[in-house]
Amino acid sequence: MGNSAVFVFQMRRVGDFFQSLPLINSLYAEISIKNINETAKNKEESKEKEKLKKEEEIEKKAAIDVFVDVNITAIKDFLIDDIKLITVKDLFSADYEDYNRRNASDFFSFFDNIKSCVFPLLSKYSLAVNLNYDVLSGLLLNFFAHADKKGFICLNKSVKTFESLSRCGASNYFYNAVKNRKLNKLNIIDIFSLIGLNKPAELKINYDILKLKSSTENKNKKNRNKFRICISTGASSEKRLWGTENYSRLAELLLKYFDCEITFVGATEDVPAAAAVKDLLFSRLSDPHNNNINSTDNISSSYDKENIKKKIIDITGKTSLSELIYIIKDFDLLISTDTGTLHIAQILQVPAVSIFIGNANFYETGPHLNKSYAICSKAACYPCLEHELCRYNFSCKNDIRPEDVFLLAVMTLKKSGAAKKELISNIKKGNSEVFFCANAGSIHYYPLVKKYINKNELASEILKYCWIYILSGCAVEPDIDNILNNCKKYYKIGKALPEELLSEISFVITVFENGRLSFARQVGGTVNNSDNSNNSVNPENTSDVQHFDRFKKAVKEIGRNYEYLKLVTDYFIDEIDFCINYSSSLDSDPCSGSSADENAYGGSPYGGLDFREKTFNDAVLLLNMAVNILTQLRRTIDKKLDVV
């Protein structure tokens, strides 16, 4: 594995890997710069410039090892040599058969047996970032003896993942954002970067760690006389499947209005669905009575019903992952639900029209290129939870009309004002809504049509900026003028709404401040006491734990009474639990039952500040920042700039 500085766990699906590429790219850039600077300090001025340059180039190469699922290793061909993809078999080569024979309950005994072999392998890393919510990765994070550890870590012995894994900061936010999908406005790309680097993602046109570059390909696209459109019909769950009828109607519209070539892509399991879409499409096109076109544009002069089959290419289930990546980079547009194909395309600068239904939340996993579009249902139940049964027969799928997705394609490829006007009219009358991506320091989504915003939506929109402030360690301050301008531009806000939120959030701040003072008195210290021995959680002290338990119940009630704050309250409770679990882990190693290293989570993840104090401070800072923004928003509304 070489002399790597950083180890990143990303064992989930292809889409998750590509969404973590901006983080990996930034980590690579940071350690490369660090190595160059350290080398320069030791250079003697008398050395020849050419020799210095060569040595700096050697020092610049700083590898990152990424722990991935074996199905993702094909991506290695597209990464520079300094980025290594490591699998379970690579890490446990001598014990791989034992690893395969174990089951979930054997994880801890398995690691007990191999820890003497694993420790030396992982001792060379200075940073380990775990983006996976699973026991294997969480246990392994304990073995990085000299590394700063970030992300999900296993601090308890339990076969239940939620009991064994602990988290704090951005990884804790990630965990609770999935539980509270309707309240989360942060994209997973930014969340990954906040976990690994304490800042939002740095998005690029070309990423240094990728061999594939997008700029040359874009020049080739401009010289083509027809559009190449890719449609991905698959999805990771039934909830996210849009349907044969919808895709066939969409393809029909595209073929009639564009001089284009449509390519269907997908995994092997998507082959029947793609075949059904084609069959229905050809049936539509061969019907002499089918002239149902609703658009402001004219039928393309290149439309030829007789030769239409030549414009359909179906490679569903016929490509490897590496072949698919090479193919995707050359498309002019991708139309897809929330799939790995969508996230590959976005990294390669391919514009997207994305369809978000079921449990897929576009705020969380939507396209991240500027002016890429996400269309979703207006249904109150959207987005739902992944394992939640649908009580409405997946009605959200029917809320998204193929005609509207087609108009988004026209807007993207032809910059058509007429198509935009028609789409806006459809949105106002229909059951779907469209959001576009706008990057300004972090990934944001705004509605194409100015919309009324309710209390939960306004609070979540404001808290989005506050979360970035807190999760970055107060390094990324909100641009309040920009926030106010966006609120005015994209939302219709009731005059009483900011005042109502101000009153409620101010009350909740008082609750947290009183809780902080109460606990300080409980442990006999002071709130700002720098002596952590007098002001920290003692898991062996029944009185301390009981005091926290009582306060946690009060915080849960806040989440029940003020729905828009449930993500805040759940996050706070888990931070407190992490504090207690971390303190316990200093006495008991979950892998062996023996005494653990006091550097079990990079020392203190809060740089020496008492966990409990940091948790209370963060809650108060987060809510105070929201109050500050809402106060200025209320002043704007009082000036009658835009009220309803």
Res 308: pLDDT: 79
Question: CA–CA separation, 296 vs 259, rounded Å?
Answer: 17
Determine the average pLDDT of the residues in 24-42.
70
User: Given the structure tokens 């490509």, which residue do they identify?
Assistant: 319
* 516 in the same domain as 423: no
Is there a single domain that holds both residue 263 and residue 395? yes
The residue among 223 and 434 whose pLDDT is bigger is 434
pLDDT surpasses 50 at 533: no
Question: Which residues sit opposite 432 in a β-bridge?
Answer: 377
Last residue of a domain, one of 395, 423, 441: 441
| Residue 506 phi, psi dihedral angles, 5° rounding | -60, -40
Mind listing the pLDDT tens digit for each residue in 69-88? 988 998 998 999 999 999 98
Cβ(409)–Cβ(254) under 8 Å?
yes
Residue 530, pLDDT score: 40
Whether residues 162 and 231 fall in one domain? no
Residue 456 lies in a domain: no
Single out the residue in 136, 166, 196 at which a domain terminates: 166
- pLDDT, one tens digit per residue, over 166-175 is 888 999 999 9
Tell whether 411 and 264 lie within a shared domain. yes
Domain count, the chain: 3
What's the confidence (pLDDT) of residue 632?
95
* Most distant CA atoms of the chain, gap in Å: 85
On whether both 509 and 628 belong to a single domain, the answer is: yes
Which residues are CB-neighbours of 614 under 8 A, at least 6 positions away? 606
Same domain, 578 and 433: no
Residue ranges in 298-401 assigned as alpha helix (H): 321-328, 340-347, 362-365, 395-399
Note the pLDDT tens digit of each residue in 200-221.
999 999 999 999 866 444 555 6
Same domain for 261 and 162: no
Same domain, 370 and 232: yes
Name the residue range of residue 159's domain.
6-166
Same domain, 384 and 511: no
Question: Quick check: 446 and 433 in contact, CB under 8 A?
Answer: no
CA 22 to chain centre: 11
Does residue 611 contact residue 536 with C-beta atoms inside 8 Å? yes
In a domain, 193, yes or no: no
Choice among 57-61, 212-216, 327-331, 337-341 with the minimum mean pLDDT: 57-61
pLDDT of residue 98: 58
Q: Is residue 458 part of a domain?
A: no
Q: What residues are paired with 437 via a beta bridge?
A: 445
Block residue for tokens 């966990």: 611
Kindly state whether residues 261 and 393 are assigned to the same domain. yes
Which DSSP string corresponds to 145-164?
TTSEEEE-EE-S--SSHHHH
Q: What is the mean pLDDT of residues 307-330?
A: 91
Shared domain check, 358 and 284: yes
Domain boundary among 424, 441, 458: 441
The answer to whether residue 570 scores a pLDDT higher than 70 is yes
Query: Which two three-digit tokens encode residue 343?
Result: 């996230």
Over 50: is that where the pLDDT of 603 sits?
A: no
Q: Kindly report the average pLDDT of the chain as a whole number.
A: 83
Cross-sheet strand order for the sheet of 148-151: 83-86, 64-67, 6-9, 127-130, 148-151
Angle at 193 between CA 466 and CA 128, to 5 degrees: 125
In angstroms, the Cα distances linking 167 to 170, 251, 607, 619 are 8, 45, 16, 16
Tell whether 202 is covered by a domain. no
Between CA 613 and CA 434 the distance in angstroms is 42
Which of residues 94 and 268 earns the better pLDDT score?
A: 268
Helices 480-490 and 611-638 pack at an angle, to 10 degrees, of 50
The answer to whether residue 470 sits within a structural domain is: no
- For the domain that residue 436 is a member of, what is the CATH number? 3.40.50.2000
> Per the structure block, which two tokens stand in for 602?
């990079």
Is residue 363 included in any domain, yes or no?
yes
Contacts 24+ apart (CB under 8 A), 383-389: 383/181, 383/182, 383/356, 383/358, 383/359, 384/181, 384/239, 384/358, 384/359, 385/179, 385/181, 385/359, 386/237, 386/239, 386/359, 388/359
pLDDT cut 70: percent of the chain above it = 77
Whether residue 300 is contained in a domain is answered as yes
Tell me the pTM: 0.89
> Which are the contacts of 565, defined by CB distance < 8 A and separation ≥ 6?
459, 505, 508, 558, 559
Q: Is 188 among the domain residues?
A: no
> What is the mean pLDDT of the segment spanning 528-553?
62
Sign of the four-CA dihedral 62, 66, 70, 72: negative
Digit-coded pLDDT (tens) for 110-124: 666 666 677 777 888
Claim to verify: residue 110 and residue 252 sit in the same structural domain: no
Q: What pLDDT digit, counting tens, does each position of 479-523 carry?
A: 999 999 999 999 999 999 999 999 999 999 999 999 888 877 766
Q: What is the DSSP letter of 358?
A: T
How many residues in total does the chain contain? Answer: 644
* Residue that has been written with the tokens 């809650």 in this structure: 619
